[in-house]
């Protein structure tokens, strides 16, 4: 047992003696001032954000190995915006690329050159996979912004057209479009074929006004309504009949509005006196436009700012959102959607032909509800005209139409493909084909060990017995006597043997084999379908042109949402501009108009087959008369008289309202000259965007004509 150690008393005597020998060493002096030492390091709070911004190009090198959310706080600013900030701080050549996500293993950012999206892109994903809120949104956000390219040229924000084919529309997508327009200090251009939304109006013939050649207008409209059937017995006949009827109407009747065109087609294909009954499908295809809300067909003047105008769309770099209710109004939505796309392509082609090409991007959500053979074929011509399509839908099987499977053509025409779900065997097989094969090295090693232990033991006993006689001689009293003596023998032998043997052997084999296997393994498909926002992306045509070249093979990309959750909730809850429409309004302007002869017969109570009584001409009758011409010659004479009268009255006819910039383009003069001409007419025009009244337009038109005569 241990006892407690006694403390030893420290003797301070020698120390006290030493200090006493030193004079003044123990004197108490005045109080010393505090010593302020300069800190050896910066004591200010560390600003991680400022330090990260100061890294400049080094930040990009760090992101090659680490994910950004492990470096900076992403609770207030979403991680997607953080990555965009880094790219914007880099050299201008990074601005030529679009950020789509990161490598799930190395966390390296994946970039796609902008020109890839000019060659069309395709997004496939099931419901709830994030194809709209993630994939489509992040592409549109970056394509819509202005930037400086590698040559130092400032690129203006391109025009953006978004077509939404959902029944009630996608609130998130429309809120995104509103944000894109707001970033440009513009108002969103909104069109919907749903009459309960406040919308612009669409005039098909006005949108195709750049087509002067009647035959070209004819084929454009036939394509837009899918009236050019596949070649074959029977279908060729109806295509030719519709073309012939349409051609006669355009050349002979010269309709100036869609309403007139539909009326002429109805007269030519319907009723007992119809000449082209085999083309009656033409009227069936166009008739609904005459009754549709937000479709302008009568050619009457309307506010230019409330009309869909693709020439203005290109000039101003607008953002336009088109909502087409493809559930409740599926047939009408397809017709209007295709008419808009063909009008857009025609306008872009005309601008490209005259050296005014502007790159534009068209995003179509739920594309399968609009898909047709001629729409997919449009992609081949759209790229050269400056139209880049971004197509999104849910399933490849929905692209099968009655006469064609459009998925293959769509897959081939898109340079960027992104799949957020992989469940269709055909899609997986296509990706397997373009994935190619890669070398796979398989190493195998085997070790064999054997042990043996043997023990043997043997024991034996042997016994033998022998009996015999042996002869012997004996001498008794001098006589030799021979006698035999019996003998016995017995032998016993014992043997015992023991043995033990032990053996052990060990062998080891190593082998290395090389095999070419498909790069897209089933495990990748499982990961894409399981992990949110993980997608398989294929980018073609970027060899040596991207900072993150993928080598032309599909790669896994981990995406991220471009908005914080709070902002996302606000976007999906944003209301659309709504209006109340009474049932009577649906019929008020769209009732079928009866011909004068039908009204007259109803008043007289006679049958349609009975000819009308001819009214006697009055003395004060107009020179042109009231009877209809009976021959083509009289009809041509009447038309000539009307043209002469119209030319005489054109000076007194009011023009429709117009902006100064549109008026300058119409008369092919500069804005400055237009302002000067307006001043001569007593009209004050301050800027090109000023809206001029019909009387002001007439006065400026008269002043320009006068100046031309004086010159």
Torsion sign, CA atoms 614, 615, 617, 620: negative
Q: Of the candidates 90, 118, 146, which is a domain's last residue?
A: 90
Torsion sign, CA atoms 86, 92, 95, 96: negative
Q: Of the candidates 35, 70, 90, which is a domain's last residue?
A: 90
Alpha-carbon dihedral of residues 198, 203, 206, 210, nearest 10 degrees?
90
User: Domain limits at 75?
Assistant: 49-90
3-state secondary structure of 345: helix
Residue with tokens 């001629």, as numbered in its chain: 374
Confirm whether 520 is domain-assigned. no
Alpha-carbon dihedral of residues 655, 659, 660, 665, nearest 10 degrees?
-80
Confirm whether 66 is domain-assigned. yes
What separation in angstroms does the CA of 423 have from each of 401, 410, 436? 20, 18, 20
Confirm whether 3 is domain-assigned. no
- DSSP for 128-163 reads TSSIIIIIIHHHHHHHTS-EE-TTSPEEPPPPEEEE
3-state secondary structure of 524: helix
β-partners of residue 136 are: none
Judge residue 177's burial from the number of C-beta atoms within 10 Å of its C-beta, 0-12 exposed, 13-18 middle, 19 or more buried: buried
pLDDT given at position 623: 44
Q: Per the confidence metrics, is the pTM higher than 0.85?
A: no
Buried/exposed code over 462-498 (b: 16+ C-beta within 10 A; e: otherwise): eeeeeeeeeeeeeeeeeeeeeeeeeeeeeeeeeeeee
Q: In degrees rounded to 5, what are phi and psi of residue 465?
A: -130, 140
Residue 669's CB is within 10 A of a number of other CB atoms, namely: 15
Confirm whether 703 is domain-assigned. yes
- DSSP for 71-102 reads TS--SSS-HHHHHHHHHHHS-GGGGGEEEEEE
pLDDT given at position 624: 42
Contacts of 638 (CB under 8 A, 6+ apart): 624, 629
Angle at 576 between CA 575 and CA 578, to 5 degrees: 115
d(CA 358, CA 363): 16
Instruction: Split the chain (711 residues) into runs of 10 and give each run's mean pLDDT.
Output: 60 71 56 59 68 79 86 86 85 82 92 94 92 95 89 90 93 96 94 93 93 92 83 72 88 89 86 69 88 89 92 95 92 93 95 93 92 82 93 88 80 93 90 80 72 67 58 48 55 66 72 72 90 94 86 92 93 89 71 57 64 57 48 73 71 73 83 86 78 82 77 56
3-state secondary structure of 643: helix
Closest Cα partner for 304 from 703, 690, 701, 702? 690
Confirm whether 700 is domain-assigned. yes
pLDDT given at position 415: 94
d(CA 112, CA 142): 11
Confirm whether 690 is domain-assigned. yes
Q: How many domains does the chain have?
A: 2
Confirm whether 39 is domain-assigned. no
Q: Of the candidates 34, 57, 90, which is a domain's last residue?
A: 90
Query: To which H or E segment does residue 176 belong?
Result: helix 171-183
d(CA 243, CA 339): 18
Buried/exposed code over 448-458 (b: 16+ C-beta within 10 A; e: otherwise): eeeeeeeeeee
d(CA 393, CA 165): 10
Residue with tokens 């038309």, as numbered in its chain: 639
pLDDT given at position 318: 96
Tell me if 154 sits within 8 A of 449, measured CB to CB. Answer: no
pLDDT given at position 637: 77
Give the tokens for residue 172. Answer: 């998130």
pLDDT given at position 298: 86
Confirm whether 217 is domain-assigned. no
């Amino acid at each position: 047992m241990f006892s407690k150690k006694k403390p030893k008393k420290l003797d301070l005597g020698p120390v006290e003696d030493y200090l006493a020998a030193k004079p003044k060493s123990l004197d108490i002096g005045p109080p010393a001032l505090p010593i302020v030492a300069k800190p050896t390091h910066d004591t200010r709070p560390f600003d991680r954000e400022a330090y990260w911004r100061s890294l400049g190009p080094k930040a990009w090198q760090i992101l090659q190995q680490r994910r950004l959310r492990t470096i900076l706080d992403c609770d207030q600013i979403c991680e997607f915006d953080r990555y965009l900030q880094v790219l914007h701080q880099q050299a201008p050549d990074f601005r030529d690329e679009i950020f789509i996500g990161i490598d799930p293993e190395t966390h390296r950012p994946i970039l796609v050159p902008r020109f890839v999206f000019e060659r069309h892109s395709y997004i496939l994903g099931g419901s709830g996979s994030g194809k709209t809120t993630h994939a489509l949104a992040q592409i549109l956000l970056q394509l819509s912004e202005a930037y400086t390219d590698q040559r130092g040229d400032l690129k203006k924000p391109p025009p953006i057209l978004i077509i939404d084919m959902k029944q009630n529309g996608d609130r998130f997508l429309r809120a995104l479009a509103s944000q894109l327009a707001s970033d440009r200090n513009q108002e969103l251009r909104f069109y919907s074929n749903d009459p309960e939304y406040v919308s612009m109006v669409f005039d098909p013939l006005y949108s195709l006004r750049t087509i002067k050649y009647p035959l070209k207008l004819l084929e454009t409209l036939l394509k837009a309504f899918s009236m050019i059937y596949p070649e074959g017995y029977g279908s060729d006949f109806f295509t030719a009949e519709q073309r012939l009827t349409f051609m006669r109407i355009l050349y002979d009747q010269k309709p100036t509005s869609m309403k007139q065109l539909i009326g002429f087609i109805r007269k030519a294909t319907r009723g007992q006196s119809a000449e082209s009954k085999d083309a009656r499908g033409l009227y069936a295809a166009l008739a609904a436009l005459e009754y549709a809300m937000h479709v302008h067909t009568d050619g009457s003047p309307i506010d230019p700012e409330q009309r869909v105008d693709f020439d203005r769309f290109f000039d101003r770099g607008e953002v336009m959102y088109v909502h087409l209710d493809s559930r409740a109004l599926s047939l009408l939505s397809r017709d209007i959607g295709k008419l808009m796309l063909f009008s857009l392509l025609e306008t872009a082609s005309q601008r490209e032909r005259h050296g005014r090409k502007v790159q534009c991007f068209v995003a179509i959500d739920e594309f399968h509800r609009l898909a047709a053979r001629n729409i997919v074929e449009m992609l081949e011509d759209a790229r050269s005209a400056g139209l880049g399509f971004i197509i999104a839908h849910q399933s490849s099987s929905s692209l099968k139409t009655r006469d064609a499977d459009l998925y293959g053509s769509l897959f081939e025409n898109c340079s960027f493909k992104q799949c957020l779900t992989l469940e269709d065997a055909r899609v997986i097989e296509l990706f397997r084909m373009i994935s190619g094969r890669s070398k796979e090295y398989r190493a195998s090693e085997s070790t064999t060990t054997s042990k043996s232990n043997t023990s043997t033991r043997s024991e034996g006993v042997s016994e033998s017995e022998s009996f015999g006689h042996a002869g012997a001689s004996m001498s008794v009293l001098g006589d030799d006597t021979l006698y035999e003596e019996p003998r016995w023998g017995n032998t016993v032998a014992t043997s015992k043997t023991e043995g033990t043997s032990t053996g052990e052997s060990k062998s080891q084999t190593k082998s290395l084999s090389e095999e070419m296997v498909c790069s897209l393994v089933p495990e990748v498909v499982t990961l894409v379908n399981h992990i949110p926002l993980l997608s398989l992306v294929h980018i073609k045509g970027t060899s040596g042109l991207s900072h993150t070249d993928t080598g032309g093979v599909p790669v896994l990309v981990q995406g991220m949402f471009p908005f914080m959750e709070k902002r996302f909730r606000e976007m999906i809850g944003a209301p659309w501009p709504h209006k109340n429409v009474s049932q009577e309004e649906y019929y008020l302007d769209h009732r079928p108009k009866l011909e004068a002869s039908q009204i007259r017969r109803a008043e007289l109570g006679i049958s349609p087959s009975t000819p009308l009584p001819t009214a006697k001409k009055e003395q004060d009758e107009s020179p042109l008369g009231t009877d209809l011409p009976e021959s083509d010659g009289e009809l041509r004479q009447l038309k000539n008289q009307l043209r002469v009268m119209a030319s005489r009255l054109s000076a007194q006819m009011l023009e429709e309202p117009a902006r100064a910039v549109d008026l300058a383009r119409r008369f092919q003069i500069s804005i400055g000259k237009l302002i000067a001409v307006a001043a001569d007419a007593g009209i004050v025009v301050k800027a090109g965007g000023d809206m001029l009244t019909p009387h002001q337009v007439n006065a400026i038109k008269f002043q320009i004509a006068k100046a031309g005569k004086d010159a």
